[in-house]
A and B are shown apart, each in its own frame.
Chain A
Amino acid sequence: MADTVSSANVPVMLGAKNYPTALEWIARRAEAFVIPLAALIVGMVLFSLFIALVGKSPAQLYETMWRGGFGSWFSVQNSLSRAAPLLLAALCVALPARLGLVVIGGEGAIVLGGVAAAAMGVAASGAPAFFVILAMGVAGLAAGGIWIGAVGALRHYRAVNETISSLLMAYIAIALMNHLVEGPLRDPASLNKPSTEPLAEAYRIGNIPGMDVHWGLVVGIIACILSWLLIEKTRWGFAARIAGGNVRAAQVQGLAVGPLIVGFTALAGGFAGLAGMLEVAAVQGSANASLAAGYGYTGILVAFLARHNPLAIIPVAFLLGGIDASGGLIQRRMDLPDATVLVLQGMLFVVILFSETFYGRFKAFNPDLWQRPDLLKGTA
């Protein structure tokens, strides 16, 4: 769209000196902000209609949502805590997406990463805390990486559809976790809620100083920044973007598409596995069924909302973490089911996907068309 029309010489040819280049620069980039933002607003308006239809006040709902998710330092910290796993879960969708793959089974990598980390934490118990936490992180990364890396390998070498296989593997992972947590890895003392043995206090990850938010938030933000650098600033990222545009073209160029796909999916799964490790080390203290809390699925929405841009994932994860965090308050204050938040998420998801159709359609975002309305015919 904008990129395909505007090679560097076109504006010069059209007499771009009439327009300040800064304005063009802003116009070209505004599309990526304005369209998702507009979609977000439309989604919230539709949700207001839905809430009004079931006989509740949309104004009260958004007020409650604001208070529960963003309105006070307490609720902001709560939202940030929920954003931490969402950052990593969203990367599990966004990284493969840059290669043109739709991986939606991050939940499985989270669950297995958590179990692997808990097992490592118990097995390595006695060693210095720094090494144990590091080993738990590596275990989580490896478990998630192998799981989603396998999805990528199946995709490339056997042409197995990655969307379906990743979701099937998420169900298998949850069954595997249930088996391990209720069988071989079960702590006999956990009666009502089968869990692995609890981590020693020394091996738990604490809070960021001055905040009631664990270090997982920092890990997640660093992972997003590293992923952005990987995609935008390295040759692997460049190769991935080419392969994502056209696999055959990438192969003709001599790019090793197979290792690229396996590497990106493994890294993506590793991040999700790390999210599971953080849930165990910073929140739960052991691995149990609470690991399958749906972060993997909300992560899909975060990634699509951020249009698979790792830097955009950071604010979007905070936003959705806040919506998630306000669910309890909405349930108590307004007597609405806890699934209210799921309905809002679903609506936002559909509207965001629908908004894809508007990219490249607005003259305002394409400086090349400002003086050449005849070019518009092709895009409208």
Chain B
Amino acid sequence: MDATGIGLWGVPLAMLGGAIRVSTPFIFVSLGEAITERSGRINLGLEGTLVFGAMTAYAVAVMTGSPWLGLLAAAAAGLCFGLFHGWICKFRGVNDIAIGIALMLFGSGLAFFFGKPFIQPSAPDLPAIPFGGWSDIPQVQAALNVNVLFLIGAALAVFLWWAFRNTRAGLILRVVGDSSDAARAMGLNPNTVRLIATGIGGALAGIGGAYLSLYYPGSWTEGISSGQGLMAVALVIFARWNPLGCFAAALLFGGAGALGPALQSVGVTQGYYLFYAAPYILTLVIMIATSSPSRSLAGAPGELSITK
């Protein structure tokens, strides 16, 4: 890569562009997980859902020629995974965290199984909108080439933030998440609400996967997700189950994930693998900094097992 005249300024610029590019799957997975966790369950299987969504979207886009149909198929596949998690967790003695781990492995296994024939062909990409047309510098144009899913994700974050507080559905979700007993006293069935919440969470994670295979990095490989689904779960805790916080944290994580490639693009290759670990280290540091043994987390849904 050549740094045409802007030298080291290329690093923050590439990180900004990278943050927008890399953060989109984080936004969708974390918003989905926020809905699920607000209902009092945790779905660690979103990592598997993300991978399966990526494969489904790519396969359908290759076969139909339409990336939007691929996106729809990925959302539907994610919905199925989410509904399955939500259904199986209602049985006594079935642990939501363990089922999540199992679905993480199962989702990836299924995706590799069906995805084998789709590693070679190329699928049409999801469209991006060039916001950088005012500039002559190619790096600026590249950084501001924003995919429509990023914009949809941003709008969704604002909508969910509003909906959690101001709609009947948001209230029901929060009641179920805070106390099953209170929900039952109100005549709500916690299992049904959690089933729906986990299903929607899975569908959003599927969309995140579609972004991975249909825009950035934009191809289907077995290593397409390296823990994004899992980091997004940690990110929800950091964001205190607030959709706007999820959006901000996703941008932060995207920037950290773009650090390695950004440095590489200006010729820094020393310690590439350590920079590659930056998002994981950042997640871990944030988890350590924001957890406390003596008090429960502010804003945590009362029924959530992971914060107890």
Q: A residues touching B (Cβ–Cβ < 8 Å)?
A: 102, 104, 154, 156-161, 163-165, 167-169, 171-172, 175-176, 178-179, 182-183, 297, 300-301, 304, 337-340, 342-343, 345-347, 349-350, 353-354, 356-357, 359
B182 proximal to A (CB < 8 A): no
Q: Which residues of B, 271-308, contact A by the 8 Å Cβ criterion?
A: 271-274, 276-277, 280-281, 283-284, 287-288, 291-293, 306-307
**Are B106's CB and A343's CB within 8 A?**
yes
**Are A176's CB and B274's CB within 8 A?**
yes
Contact of A346 among B93, B95, B102, B233 (CB under 8 A): B102
Q: Which residues of B, 105-149, contact A by the 8 Å Cβ criterion?
A: 105-110, 112-113, 116
**Are B88's CB and A159's CB within 8 A?**
no
State in angstroms the CA–CA spacing of A340 and B108 once bound together.
11
Q: Which chain B residues border A161 with CB–CB below 8 Å? A: 234, 237, 287, 291, 306-307
**Are B291's CB and A175's CB within 8 A?**
no
**Are A350's CB and B102's CB within 8 A?**
yes
**Are B287's CB and A160's CB within 8 A?**
yes
Contact of A345 among B103, B109, B227, B274 (CB under 8 A): B109
B15 proximal to A (CB < 8 A): no
Q: Which chain B residues border A300 with CB–CB below 8 Å? A: 101, 105
Contact of A102 among B98, B281, B292 (CB under 8 A): B98
**Are B116's CB and A301's CB within 8 A?**
no
Q: Which chain B residues border A163 with CB–CB below 8 Å? A: 44, 97, 101, 306
**Are A354's CB and B277's CB within 8 A?**
no
**Are B88's CB and A350's CB within 8 A?**
yes
**Are B277's CB and A164's CB within 8 A?**
no
Closest 6 CB pairs of A and B: A346-B106, A342-B109, A339-B112, A175-B277, A349-B102, A179-B273
**Are B105's CB and A349's CB within 8 A?**
yes
Q: Which residue of A lies closest to B222 (CB)?
A: A339
B230 proximal to A (CB < 8 A): yes
**Are B98's CB and A175's CB within 8 A?**
no
Q: Mark B25-63, 1 if CB is under 8 A from A, else 0.
A: 000000000000000000010000000000000000000
State in angstroms the CA–CA spacing of A304 and B291 once bound together.
28
State in angstroms the CA–CA spacing of A179 and B272 once bound together.
7
Q: Which chain A residues border B88 with CB–CB below 8 Å? A: 350, 353-354
State in angstroms the CA–CA spacing of A183 and B237 once bound together.
35
Q: Nearest Cβ in chain B — how far from A350, in angstroms?
A: 5
**Are A357's CB and B94's CB within 8 A?**
yes
Q: Which chain A residues border B116 with CB–CB below 8 Å? A: 337, 339
A/B interface sample: 19 pairs, CB < 8 A: A157-B293, A160-B288, A160-B291, A163-B97, A168-B227, A168-B284, A169-B280, A172-B284, A176-B274, A179-B272, A337-B116, A342-B109, A342-B112, A343-B110, A346-B105, A349-B101, A349-B105, A353-B102, A356-B95
Q: Nearest Cβ in chain B — how far from A321, in angstroms?
A: 17
B200 proximal to A (CB < 8 A): no
Q: Which chain A residues border B277 with CB–CB below 8 Å? A: 171-172, 175-176
B231 proximal to A (CB < 8 A): yes
Q: Which chain A residues border B168 with CB–CB below 8 Å? A: none
State in angstroms the CA–CA spacing of A163 and B276 once bound together.
21
Q: Nearest Cβ in chain A — how far from B240, in angstroms?
A: 15
Q: Nearest Cβ in chain B — how far from A25, in angstroms?
A: 24
State in angstroms the CA–CA spacing of A176 and B109 once bound together.
26
Q: Which chain A residues border B44 with CB–CB below 8 Å? A: 163-164
**Are A159's CB and B293's CB within 8 A?**
yes
B226 proximal to A (CB < 8 A): yes
**Are B113's CB and A168's CB within 8 A?**
no
Q: Which chain A residues border B276 with CB–CB below 8 Å? A: 175, 178
**Are B284's CB and A165's CB within 8 A?**
yes
**Are B293's CB and A342's CB within 8 A?**
no
Q: Which chain A residues border B291 with CB–CB below 8 Å? A: 158-161
